[in-house]
Amino acid sequence: MAALQDLYPDDFAHCYGCGRLNTNGLHVRTEWIDGEGIARFQPAPYHMALPGYVYGGLIASVVDCHAIGTAAGASMTAAGRTPGRDTTPRFVTASLQVDFLRPTPLGLELTLRARPDLVDDRKVIVSVILSADGAECARARVIAVRAPASMVKEARVD
């Protein structure tokens, strides 16, 4: 199956965090596995806070796009569609909360596991755990809402 972000319509694929068409971007990719979103991400050497540790804003960014992808997957599942096969609807972030449990070591691939806690017609609430080498480094909670029509300048979805 494809990553959810790879199935955004082109007009939604320019996001700095996860858009496949943003050549400067981070290219966060969420796979949908057994009702959860799973992502792996390798920070660049310059994504540091202090030497040896990952920058918190980069963690917030990766968490954000991964949670938004997971919200889409949960929404698709609730609507009887298949994440990673069907077109991914575009959610946006209403609220992002990240708790940094311990400094995240720089150099390792990060693993993000995201679970939908609530899915309704207006929003999806997603919990995310970010780990490095098996150790939980951050936990996050994201409230995602469908991209409002007023934000969509050229794109159509569904």
| Interface positions with a copy of itself (CB under 8 A) | 11-12, 14-17, 22-26, 44, 46-53, 55-58, 60-62, 64-65, 90, 92-100, 103, 147-148, 150-155
Q: Where are the alpha helices (DSSP H) in 27-149?
A: 56-78
| Residue 52 main-chain phi, psi, to 5 deg | 100, -5
- Select 34 or 46, whichever has its Cβ closest to a copy of itself: 46
CB of 95 to a copy of itself, least distance (A): 5
- Select 55 or 84, whichever has its Cβ closest to a copy of itself: 55
CB of 104 to a copy of itself, least distance (A): 11
Nearest to 127 by CA among 136, 110, 143, 114: 114
CB of 65 to a copy of itself, least distance (A): 7
- Select 9 or 84, whichever has its Cβ closest to a copy of itself: 9
- Select 53 or 77, whichever has its Cβ closest to a copy of itself: 53
CB of 64 to a copy of itself, least distance (A): 5
- Select 3 or 13, whichever has its Cβ closest to a copy of itself: 13
CB atoms within 10 A of CB 153: 6
Encoded tokens for 21: 């068409």
Q: Report how far residue 14's alpha carbon sits from residue 8's, in angstroms, rounded to the nearest whole number.
A: 10
Residue 82: burial class (beta carbons within 10 Å; 0-12, 13-18, 19+): exposed
Please enumerate in sequence order all residues whose Cβ is within 8 A of that of 42, keeping only pairs 6 or more positions apart, or say none: 109, 110
CB of 34 to a copy of itself, least distance (A): 26
